[in-house]
């Protein structure tokens, strides 16, 4: 969320003396009623799956990322690039802080400046620890400028999948779910802190840097091109991208009015990106189901290297080597379901993947392919003894985030819910979900409560059977 209810302290010339006095009193008698109790912001936001993800005590409002990137020398390998960044972060203290953290992994910080003054800082494996002086009172808006950099590699998540700033032969694939943004910028790396972003990405002339939102422009000087992107919509950090490579940009306006920018690697056969032409029709289809497209723009990146999956990077979905029709639909539907409404904790991931998978089932039915009912039947045809049913969809564990049941049992749950409450209530629920929680985050409990409110039914038994139990539902 961009804003929380905190008291803002406005320091003007006339009040400086009073503020100085208050600070002196606070340090002389910490803990007196009405005086700040300065503390260190926690090193995580409290997500049990990823204890170090995000940071307590701060709310980032805006990131301006100025990145200078040199891809590897193509021959000989190793696939290692060089990244130098300056992150200008506007943040609000949500507690009285004498120390706070940002997440950063594998890159070295040169300097930290808070409100114009150089600050002490230190680093551990995942944390950049900043000690602001003067200390930050709750409600204070600070500008934090961090110069950092280092060698980029091909990082892996806890399951061994490539993620984060993944160095490629001609650039980098940047896809960071769930906690990989810390491999490329200092960040409050949890969906509960959404922010606006802007990017200035400088790469060797001839390469293209593709980020979220709108392309503001590019300029070339002395063999380098700087690409400027503006992403004003609130965005969870894992959905930010700054993908670099050989790309051809294709801009057009979809039937619903959404500006589209696709970036396709020309090394790929045209057939690998042909399904992107269906984006306009899909936008119209999903707007009917979920309401207006929530962001300033859309588009795709199709790279000739692979992380082994596609990701719904906000406003610009990423595809590894191929954009199949079902995956194009899946990643587009995520813009409403996952990106605009994001998981409150990572255990709520089925609300992303179940909705996106169910969306591709409905798209298939819409274009004369297998119906949603047929996809549901295929899922439910698995034998009750299969280990498939053992995963608890609403609590799959950090190693089960992207397991099959989170996607297909999640989608089957939505289809069963549609049967339980009827089409009118189900699609009303979908729209209300986006209206109620768009721009923020929501949990499985929130979803159940809204489903009960919209349908007027007690759905506790339903949700227990479908998403909170590690066995096959026996009836539907």
Q: Which residue is nearest to Zn ion (CB)?
A: 356
Q: How far apart are CA 312 and CA 328, in angstroms?
A: 9
Element (H, E) at 19: helix 16-28
Minimum CB distance to Zn ion smaller for 356 or for 425: 356
CB of 353 to Zn ion, least distance (A): 5
Minimum CB distance to Zn ion smaller for 262 or for 353: 353
- Contact positions with Zn ion (CB under 5 A) in 40-69: none
CB of 32 to Zn ion, least distance (A): 51
Which residues, 6+ apart, have CB-to-CB distance to 355 below 8 Å? 333, 334, 336, 337, 338, 410, 411, 414
Binding characters for Zn ion, 81-110, by CB under 5 A (x = yes): ------------------------------
Which residues, 6+ apart, have CB-to-CB distance to 220 below 8 Å? 205, 226
CB of 451 to Zn ion, least distance (A): 21
Minimum CB distance to Zn ion smaller for 179 or for 353: 353
Rounded to 5 degrees, what are φ and ψ at 119?
Answer: -125, 155
Alpha-carbon dihedral of residues 425, 429, 435, 438, nearest 10 degrees? Answer: -170
Order of strands, sheet of 259-264, starting from the edge strand that comes earlier in the sequence: 248-253, 259-264, 300-303, 317-320
Minimum CB distance to Zn ion smaller for 146 or for 349: 349
Alpha helices in 70-206 (DSSP H): none
Q: How far apart are CA 466 and CA 469, in angstroms?
A: 7
CB of 322 to Zn ion, least distance (A): 16
Q: How far apart are CA 292 and CA 111, in angstroms?
A: 43
Beta-strand runs (E) in 75-132 = 81-93, 97-103, 108-114, 117-118, 120-123, 127-131
Minimum CB distance to Zn ion smaller for 129 or for 311: 311
Count of residues near Zn ion by CB under 5 A: 2
ω into 126 cis (within 30 of 0): no
Binding characters for Zn ion, 335-354, by CB under 5 A (x = yes): ------------------x-
Minimum CB distance to Zn ion smaller for 109 or for 356: 356
Q: Say whether residue 264 binds Zn ion (CB under 5 A).
A: no
CB of 218 to Zn ion, least distance (A): 30
Alpha helices in 31-76 (DSSP H): none
CB of 406 to Zn ion, least distance (A): 9
Minimum CB distance to Zn ion smaller for 283 or for 356: 356
- Contact positions with Zn ion (CB under 5 A) in 387-446: none
| Three-state secondary structure readout of 272-328 | HHHHHHHHHHHHHHHHHHHCCCCCCCECEEEECCCCCCCECCCCCEEEECCCCHHHH
Minimum CB distance to Zn ion smaller for 55 or for 360: 360
Rounded to 5 degrees, what are φ and ψ at 329?
Answer: -65, -45
- Contact positions with Zn ion (CB under 5 A) in 353-372: 353, 356
CB of 330 to Zn ion, least distance (A): 5
Minimum CB distance to Zn ion smaller for 101 or for 375: 375
Minimum CB distance to Zn ion smaller for 356 or for 362: 356
Question: Locate tokens 């910080």: which residue?
Answer: 109
Torsion sign across C-alpha atoms 392, 398, 401, 404: negative
Q: How far apart are CA 282 and CA 295, in angstroms?
A: 15
CB of 311 to Zn ion, least distance (A): 8
CB of 394 to Zn ion, least distance (A): 16
CB of 442 to Zn ion, least distance (A): 17
- Contact residues for Zn ion, defined by CB under 5 A: 353, 356
């Amino acid at each position: 969320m961009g804003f929380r209810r905190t008291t803002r302290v406005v320091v003007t010339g006339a009040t400086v003396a009073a503020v100085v006095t208050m600070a002196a009193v606070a340090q002389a008698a910490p803990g007196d009623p009405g005086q700040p109790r300065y503390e260190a912001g926690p090193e995580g936001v409290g997500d049990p799956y990823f204890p170090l993800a995000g940071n307590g005590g701060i709310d980032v409002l805006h990131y301006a990322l100025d990145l200078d990137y040199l891809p590897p020398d193509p021959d000989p390998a190793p696939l290692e690039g060089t990244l130098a960044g300056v992150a200008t972060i506007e943040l609000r203290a949500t507690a009285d802080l004498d120390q706070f953290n940002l997440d950063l992994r594998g890159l070295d910080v040169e300097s930290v400046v808070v409100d114009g003054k150089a600050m002490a800082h230190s680093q551990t494996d995942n944390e950049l620890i900043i000690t602001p002086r003067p200390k930050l009172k709750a409600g204070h808006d600070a500008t934090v400028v961090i110069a950092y950099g280092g060698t980029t590699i091909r990082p892996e998540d806890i399951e061994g999948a490539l993620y984060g700033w993944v160095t490629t032969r001609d650039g980098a694939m940047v896809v960071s779910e769930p906690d990989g943004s810390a491999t490329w910028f200092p960040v409050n790396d949890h969906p509960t802190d959404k922010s606006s972003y802007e990017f200035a990405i400088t790469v060797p002339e001839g390469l293209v840097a593709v980020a979220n939102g709108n392309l503001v422009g590019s300029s070339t000087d002395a063999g380098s091109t700087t690409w400027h992107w503006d992403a004003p919509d609130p965005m969870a950090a894992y959905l930010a991208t700054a993908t670099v490579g050989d790309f051809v940009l294709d801009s057009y306006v979809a039937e619903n009015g959404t500006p589209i920018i696709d970036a396709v690697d020309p090394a790929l056969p045209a057939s690998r990106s042909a399904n992107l032409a269906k984006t306009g029709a899909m936008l119209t289809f999903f707007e009917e189901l979920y309401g207006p497209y929530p962001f300033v723009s859309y588009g795709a990146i199709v790279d000739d290297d692979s992380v082994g999956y596609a990701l719904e990077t906000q406003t610009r979905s990423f595809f590894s080597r191929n954009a199949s029709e079902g995956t194009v639909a899946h990643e587009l539907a995520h813009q409403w379901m996952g990106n605009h409404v994001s998981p409150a904790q990572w255990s709520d991931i089925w609300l992303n993947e179940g909705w996106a998978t169910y969306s591709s089932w409905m798209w298939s039915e819409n274009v004369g392919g297998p119906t949603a009912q047929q996809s549901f039947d295929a899922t439910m045809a698995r034998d009750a003894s299969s280990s498939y049913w053992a995963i608890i969809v609403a609590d799959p564990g950090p190693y089960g985030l992207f397991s099959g049941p989170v996607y297909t049992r999640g989608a089957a749950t939505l289809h069963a819910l549609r049967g339980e409450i009827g089409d009118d209530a189900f699609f009303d629920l979908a729209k209300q979900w986006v209206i109620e929680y768009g721009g923020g985050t929501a949990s499985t409990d929130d979803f159940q409560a809204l489903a009960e409110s919209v349908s007027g039914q007690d759905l506790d038994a339903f949700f227990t059977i479908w998403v909170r139990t590690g066995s096959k539902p026996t009836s539907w």
